[in-house]
Copies of this chain bind each other. A is one copy, B any other.
Amino acid sequence: MATTSWDDVKAARMGDSVVEAAYAAAQLAFELGEQVRAMREERGWSQRELSALTGMSQPAIARFEAGGTTPTLPILERIAIAFDATLSVQLKSKAVA
């Protein structure tokens, strides 16, 4: 084997993963957007009010709620704080089999 062999051997398998991950992240972004919109409306806040509380722009809130972008963790933290909520990010092993 020429190169490291790992790069080659796993390359094919990895190709799918990146796409799969991108799709999963997009779905996550969409769901988070929906949840934030629900929490915001629950409190009767406008996008402008939430943007002021989080230091974000109103367009950023709109994009995020629509699932147009995948939010960063710092942004999610700011939103959590605005809602007096807790941000939880976990990597949970599926099966131990």
**Which A residues contact B (CB, under 8 angstroms)?**
4, 6-7, 9-11, 13-15, 17-18, 20-22, 24-25, 28-29, 32, 35-36, 39, 48-49, 52-55, 70-95
Contact B52–A10 (Cβ < 8 Å): yes
B52 touches A76 (CB 8 A): no
With contact pairs A52-B6, A52-B11 given, residues A86 and B92 touching in the complex (Cβ less than 8 Å): yes
Q: At the interface, is chain A mostly helix, strand, loop or mixed?
A: helix
Q: A22 to chain B: which residues have CB within 8 Å?
A: 74, 77
Contact A14 B91 (CB under 8 A): no
Most chain B CB within a 10 A radius of its CB, from A25, A84, A91: A91
Taking the closest CB of chain B, its distance from the CB of A76, in whole angstroms, is 7
Chain B residues with CB under 8 Å of A82's CB are: 17
